[in-house]
Amino acid sequence: MDYKKLINVALDYRNRAYSPYSNFKVGAAVLFESGKIYGGCNVENASFGATNCAERTAIFRGISEGETTIKSIAIVGSLNEYTYPCGICRQVISEFGDESIEVILAKSEDDYIIKDMREVLPGAFKKEALGK
């Protein structure tokens, strides 16, 4: 896995963020099982509940193009500390893969840490719990 490539896509999308209210830009890049990468940025709204996170933007782009399984996701927010996904994004990430999804938290292409979903969302609520 070329982590630097994924991080650079996330950095590029971070620059595209629309965040006039928080001024906190976030970019994400998702590597799907197909090998394709989809990027996304956070998009804020005056009606705060309508705001969408970078992680979900990237995931939904891939899913809308026919992707089904996430292998890795890189997230870049603050360039001074690692930015973890919010709770909703953690749940959405877990919907499209298993506990082995790599979550790459980066400040730059050379400064990053890697977690897996077991660490990021232990005890994730999965569709199997619905009995379907």
Note if the pTM is more than 0.85. yes
What are all long-range contacts of 40-48, with beta carbons under 8 Å and residues at least 24 apart?
40/13, 41/13, 41/14, 41/15, 41/16, 41/17, 42/17, 42/18, 43/17, 43/18, 44/18, 44/19, 44/20, 46/21, 48/21
Say which residue the tokens 């890049």 belong to. 29
Phi, then psi, of 73 in degrees rounded to 5 = -140, 130
The answer to whether position 56 is within a domain reads yes
CATH number for the domain harbouring residue 109 = 3.40.140.10
Query: Which of 55, 81, 109, 128 is labelled catalytic?
Result: 55
As for how many domains the chain has, the answer is 1
Is there a catalytic annotation at residue 33?
A: no
Say if strands 70-76 and 37-41 run parallel, antiparallel, or are unpaired. unpaired
The answer to whether position 20 is within a domain reads yes
CA distances (Å), origin 104, targets 2, 6, 48, 64: 11, 9, 27, 23
Query: Each residue's pLDDT tens digit in the chain (132 positions)?
Result: 799 999 999 999 999 999 999 999 999 999 999 999 999 999 999 999 999 999 999 999 999 999 999 999 999 999 999 999 999 999 999 999 999 999 999 999 999 999 999 999 998 998 888 986
Question: Is residue 41 annotated as involved in ligand binding?
Answer: no
The answer to whether position 132 is within a domain reads no
Q: Residue 9 belongs to what domain range?
A: 3-127
